[in-house]
Amino acid sequence: MNSNMNNIFAGLFSSMGIPFPTGPIYKKQIWFANGFGLSIVSGQGTYGGDEGLFEAALLHKSTKAVIYAEDFDDVRQNLDFEDVIKLKAEVSAYPVDKAIGGMSGPYIPAVKIDLLEVKEEQNG
């Protein structure tokens, strides 16, 4: 990528509050008001990282770990800057009760996971 394109993309990311990757590895978690988040990484060993592309995994505040949803059932791979921007908009628009689960399901509403966590804390 030429330096002019780098400047354009750095400005785009900066305007969205996302630091532009300048080193060999980029790792960032972005959290949204609906409780969902994205883990965005790039670098050697990531899907597309050798070509300057990104991979993204879905997160939820109730687990702080990679989760899955029916329409986000794996790590999104080989994402360019525009793909990351679109994905950020998509996940930030998820309803707070969107069904989520582990890799093999079952998918349950995220708010129920929050309630289970509170119950465990009360009983623990």
List the domain range (segments joined by +) for residue 89: 3-123
Q: How far apart are CA 93 and CA 28, in angstroms?
A: 19
Number of domains in the chain: 1
Which DSSP symbol is given to 88?
Answer: H
pTM metric for this prediction: 0.64
| 99: its two tokens | 């069904």
Which DSSP symbol is given to 19?
Answer: P
CB contact at 8 A, 94 and 36: yes
What are 25-83's pLDDT values in tens digits? 788 899 999 989 999 988 877 888 878 899 999 988 887 677 877 788 778 999 999 99
Alpha helix locations (H) across the chain?
3-15, 81-92, 110-123
- Structure-token match 């505040």, residue found: 61
